[in-house]
Structure formats: structure tokens, C-alpha cells
A and B are shown apart, each in its own frame.
Chain A
Amino acid sequence: MTFQCSDKTILDDWLTVGPLTRTEGKTEALPYRTQLLGAEVEVWKDVGGKLAARTGQRSLLIQECYGYMWICPSGAPRKDLFALPEYSQPGRRIVDCEGIGVAVSGLRMVENFLDMGHFPYVHAHYLGEVPQTEVATYDVSVDETADEIWATNCRFFQPKTSKSATTGLDVQYRYRVVQPMGAVLYKTAFPRPGEMDAIGLFVQPHDEESITAYCLLAYYDDVSTETDLVGFQHTIFGQDKPILENQVPKKMPLRPGIEVPTRCDAMSVAFRRWLASRGTTYGAIA
């Protein structure tokens, strides 16, 4: 088995193969099996409790971080896994929401995660509500050092921003693309309006047109049960899934002119441009 991918920008990244809990009770003889970049991957913990992974006979470079397993398919990572300091910040509650399978390119999944314009339509009564549809101008910047993209000064009126929200709120957002198959968003914490909750989106590309999208919360919420928090997040992802699976084509066009953006798509435009400039082609139409 070899990875069905020739895109170095993806092969040299750290790609998730799911939460660490998947390896519970798994051994080399009976490993956790999953698909990554078109290849079957086996993961287990050896007797010392250390993570190990292979595809076919080939050993893979794997690490554990943020409660998730990360594989570098090429074995030669371009850089360290992205920083998520909120994961270990005191006062935050870490909730793993596990994954949801979506038949779409991972890049379209990430783009959807960065998009505020769809809130009143896809997430009506939760993250947005007609007629409050306007996306105010926000700032986009590329962090050349970390090789990440940021959208800042974003805000949107939300009728029910999270499980703990009891009224509508003008919510502040910050978005961060950490790699082609991953992003983090920060949004006003309803119970602590001075603080921002963090939500990580980790995409496992099974192939160019099918993924599992995992979601990790680092929340300020002492009230909601874990089941409620996970359920809320799955409601939101469940609303996005049929939209994403009806995007044609499933791969994301990077060249301008094929799909027409508008001003509120500044982050999406920056994401596509960033992918094109670094030569990412996996899950894309160049």
C-alpha cells in the first residue's frame, strides 16, 4: 500500500488519523485500521504504550498531540505540528467531538469552516438568522513565519452561538488556517464574553474527495454536559454535510474565474491563493 498522493505539501504535513481513543485495546496483531490519502493505515500502541503506525510493510512517522494521532506520510515533516496553546490553558474545558464523514475534498471542508456568509442559511436559528445576513469587512493576513493565514476583526450576530447561549449575541470571531487540512476558530465565549472559545477542525483525507472532519473544543463552559456540547457541534456539522456533498465538483478550484467570490469571501480567496502559491494540488483543481 502506498499513499495515492504526489503532492509534497500534503505528504510533508502532519495529518490526523483520528482521536487517540481509537487505539484503545488495539495491538500490532489487531490494529486500528483507517484510510489516509488512499492507503490503508494501521495504528496501535506497543507494549511500552508508544504509538506505532504502518502502511503495508512500511513504518510511518506518528505522534500524539491534542488527544489526536498525527501521521507525516513522507516521514520528513516540513515543520512541527501547529501550535494550539488553548489545549493546555487553565480554565478551558477540552471536549473531543470525534468525526463526521463527508464526501467532499478536505479543502472545501476547511473553506466552509472559515465562512460566515452561510450562517443564516445553513445554520439558521443557531449561528445566524435572516435578515441579519451582512458579513462586515474583516482583515486577512498571512503569517509568513508560521505559514498560516489569519482572519481577524470578524463579527456576526448569532441567535444561539453555542450550547450555553440563552440569547442572541454579536459574536467576535478569529479564524486561523494552520495547514491545508486544518483550521482553528476563536469566537466569543457566551458565559465569559471577554474570553474566546477555540474550535479545532482536523481533516483526515481518506482520498481527494472523501474525508472525516474531526472537531475539538477548548471551551469556557462549566454548565453544559459533554453530551450537549458534542451534540451541538454535530448538529452544526450535520447541517454543513449535505451542502458540502452537493458542491460540484467535489475538488476545490483554485484558479480565479471558475467560481465567483464576493467581498465577504476574502478569507476563502486568501486560502485558495495560499494553496495555489505553495503548490497544493491534493483535493484541488489547479
Chain B
Amino acid sequence: MNSPIGVEMQSQIWQPVLPSHYLRASKNIVAGFLQGQELALWRSEAGAVQAWENRCPHRGTRLTIGRILNDQLSCAYHGWEFDTRGGCTAIPANPSLPLPKQLRVKSFPVAEADGMVWVSAAAGNAAASQALPPTSTGALAFFCRSLGIRAPMGDVATELNAQGFKATGAQTWEGTLAGQAATVLLNEATSLRTFAHVWLSEEPAAAALSDVLAKCRLFRRDVEARASSRSS
């Protein structure tokens, strides 16, 4: 299969899901998307990012509406607790019963690089044996925003190339937005939805940032218009 966007094979496995700074140690739970899989992401007290299927194994409740208690994720529905390996450590309604050993939340391999949390959709060892996403030399000093785009990732990459961006690494494009050096990382959320995480080489003045944000919105409008005209 030809690869018009010039990404390496491993990019199809590792996806940049969130900026790392979204996750504060043992504080919050954030939703992420990975090629159709909904994720619940959080960071342990020790700093390790957890990327879990966003679904409690008990009654299917999204774990993102739960909370972090004592370095464990507690489900909002019945308070079941899961430790940093995804294993169930408490069923409060039956405190005297032994916990089922096999009971765990499905978790995905995680790496942090370039200020992003990268998650692999590949199961278990296949993912662990993959090289980590390469570190780019790009402009990653200032996080600008994440753009949610209603278009397949291939369309977004095509538009980035058309606007003079160069693919420089896994899911990574470098170029300029409204005169600012920018790095764009693409996250294939679903086959029809893409997140573009936009970083700049430095924090711009307010007026320049406003221009970059306007450029981002135009970019999204153009990609979505092209995607919807093709599908209709």
C-alpha cells in the first residue's frame, strides 16, 4: 500500500493522544481516543500514565466520570477501585469477599515523548516490542491547542502537505502557521475523526496567537469541507 503521508509503519501503532501536561499526578481523568477505542487516561502519583479502556468491567460505566482516590481509580457507579496495573482492588458492596484475581480493566501501552502521551492500540507484547515514538527536533515549546476535525486522518495529512508542512516523524508534521514555526501531531481518533495537536516553537504575543488560532480554524474548515464533499 502506498503511503501518501510518508509516515513510518510504527505510526499506525503509536498515536499521540493528549498533551502530557493535561494529566496531573493522581488528580484527574481525561478522555482520549485511539482508532475507535475510547480511553480513560490518568497519571499515578509516581508519574506513570495509565491508558485504559473507558469502561468499568462491572457494569460498563465510563471510567472518565470516576475519580482518583489514593492512587487508584474509583468508578462513579459502585466505587470499584483499580490500581495502576488495572487490577481491581476493592468492591465496596462486598468488602468481605475475596477479589476475583482475573478482574481488571483493559489497559494499553503508553509512552511519553515530545510533550505528548502516546498510546498503542496493539495488544500486549506486540506493542511493547515496538520502538517508542521518535523524538522530533521540532517546535514544541508552547502548546497551542488540540483541534478536533471531522475528517479521516489521511485527509488532514494531505492538507498539511498541501500547506507546505513536512512529515518529520511518526504522526508529526512541521511547518508554519500564520508565520509561527509549528509542529502538528495527528491522532487518529476514529476512521472519520482526527485530533491535530498544535505546538509552536515559542509562546507568541497575544495578537500573533490570535492569528495562529484563526489559521487553525480555517485549516479545519477546509479539511472538513473537502471530506464532506467527497462523502456526499
Answer yes or no: B58 CB below 8 A from chain A CBs: yes
Whether B93 and A262, one on each chain, are in contact in the complex, defined by CB atoms closer than 8 angstroms, is yes
Whether B59 and A259, one on each chain, are in contact in the complex, defined by CB atoms closer than 8 angstroms, is yes
Whether A133 and B95, one on each chain, are in contact in the complex, defined by CB atoms closer than 8 angstroms, is yes
Known contacts A117-B78, A121-B77; is A246 also within 8 Å of B93 by CB? no
Q: Mark A257-270, 1 if CB is under 8 A from B, else 0.
A: 00111111000000
Q: Which residues of B contact A261 (CB under 8 A)?
A: 58
Name A74-122 residues within 8 Å CB distance of B: 111, 116-118, 120-122
Known contacts A118-B78, A243-B76; is A260 also within 8 Å of B58 by CB? yes
How far does the Cβ of A239 sit from chain B's closest Cβ, in whole Å?
A: 10
Whether A262 and B94, one on each chain, are in contact in the complex, defined by CB atoms closer than 8 angstroms, is yes
- Classify the interface of chain B: helix, strand, loop or mixed: loop
How far does the Cβ of A112 sit from chain B's closest Cβ, in whole Å?
A: 9
Q: Mark B32-43, 1 if CB is under 8 A from A, else 0.
A: 000000100000
Q: Mark B54-93, 1 if CB is under 8 A from A, else 0.
A: 1101111110110000000001111100000000000111
Whether A248 and B54, one on each chain, are in contact in the complex, defined by CB atoms closer than 8 angstroms, is yes
Whether A263 and B97, one on each chain, are in contact in the complex, defined by CB atoms closer than 8 angstroms, is yes
Whether B54 and A134, one on each chain, are in contact in the complex, defined by CB atoms closer than 8 angstroms, is no
Size class of A's contact patch? Answer: 20 to 34
CB nearest neighbor in A for B88: A260
Q: State in angstroms the CA–CA spacing of A117 and B91 once bound together.
A: 10
Whether A133 and B57, one on each chain, are in contact in the complex, defined by CB atoms closer than 8 angstroms, is no
Q: Which residues of A contact B91 (CB under 8 A)?
A: 262
CB nearest neighbor in B for A122: B77
Q: Which residues of B contact A116 (CB under 8 A)?
A: 93
Answer yes or no: A247 CB below 8 A from chain B CBs: yes
Whether B60 and A133, one on each chain, are in contact in the complex, defined by CB atoms closer than 8 angstroms, is no
Whether B38 and A133, one on each chain, are in contact in the complex, defined by CB atoms closer than 8 angstroms, is no
Q: State in angstroms the CA–CA spacing of A121 and B90 once bound together.
A: 14
Q: Which of A120, A133, A242, A248 contacts B55 (CB 8 A)?
A: A248
Whether B93 and A134, one on each chain, are in contact in the complex, defined by CB atoms closer than 8 angstroms, is yes
- Classify the interface of chain A: helix, strand, loop or mixed: loop
Q: Which residues of B contact A256 (CB under 8 A)?
A: none
How far does the Cβ of B99 sit from chain A's closest Cβ, in whole Å?
A: 9
Q: Which residues of B contact A253 (CB under 8 A)?
A: 60
Known contacts A118-B78, A121-B79, A260-B103; is A134 also within 8 Å of B95 by CB? yes
Q: Which residues of B contact A246 (CB under 8 A)?
A: 61-62, 64-65, 76
Whether B77 and A243, one on each chain, are in contact in the complex, defined by CB atoms closer than 8 angstroms, is yes
Q: Which residues of A contact B94 (CB under 8 A)?
A: 134-135, 262-264
How many of B's residues come within 8 Å of A, CB to CB? 25
Q: State in angstroms the CA–CA spacing of A68 and B123 once bound together.
A: 52
What total count of A-B pairs have CB within 8 Å?
70
Q: State in angstroms the CA–CA spacing of A243 and B76 once bound together.
A: 7
CB nearest neighbor in A for B80: A262
Answer yes or no: B100 CB below 8 A from chain A CBs: yes
Q: State in angstroms the CA–CA spacing of A117 and B59 once bound together.
A: 12
Q: Which residues of B contact A264 (CB under 8 A)?
A: 93-94
Q: State in angstroms the CA–CA spacing of A166 and B100 once bound together.
A: 39
How far does the Cβ of B98 sit from chain A's closest Cβ, in whole Å?
A: 11
Answer yes or no: A130 CB below 8 A from chain B CBs: yes
Answer yes or no: A249 CB below 8 A from chain B CBs: yes
Q: Which residues of A contact B96 (CB under 8 A)?
A: 134
How far does the Cβ of B73 sit from chain A's closest Cβ, in whole Å?
A: 13
Whether A121 and B76, one on each chain, are in contact in the complex, defined by CB atoms closer than 8 angstroms, is yes
How far does the Cβ of A134 sit from chain B's closest Cβ, in whole Å?
A: 6
Q: Which residues of A contact B76 (CB under 8 A)?
A: 121-122, 243, 246
Q: Which residues of A contact B77 (CB under 8 A)?
A: 118, 121-122, 243
Q: State in angstroms the CA–CA spacing of A262 and B59 once bound together.
A: 11
How far does the Cβ of A266 sit from chain B's closest Cβ, in whole Å?
A: 11
Q: Which residues of B contact A260 (CB under 8 A)?
A: 57-58, 100, 103
Known contacts A260-B100, A263-B97; is A247 also within 8 Å of B78 by CB? no
How far does the Cβ of B110 sit from chain A's closest Cβ, in whole Å?
A: 21
How far does the Cβ of A129 sit from chain B's closest Cβ, in whole Å?
A: 12
Whether B92 and A120, one on each chain, are in contact in the complex, defined by CB atoms closer than 8 angstroms, is yes
Name A187-207 residues within 8 Å CB distance of B: none
25 contacts between A and B (CB under 8 A): A116-B93, A117-B78, A117-B92, A120-B79, A122-B76, A133-B93, A133-B95, A134-B93, A134-B94, A242-B65, A243-B61, A243-B77, A246-B64, A246-B65, A247-B62, A248-B38, A248-B54, A248-B61, A248-B62, A249-B60, A259-B58, A260-B103, A262-B91, A262-B93, A262-B97
Interface residues of B (CB under 8 A from A): 38, 54-55, 57-62, 64-65, 75-79, 91-97, 100, 103
Other than A118-B78, A249-B60, give 7 A-B pairs with Cβ distance below 8 A. A116-B93, A121-B76, A122-B77, A247-B60, A259-B58, A261-B58, A262-B94
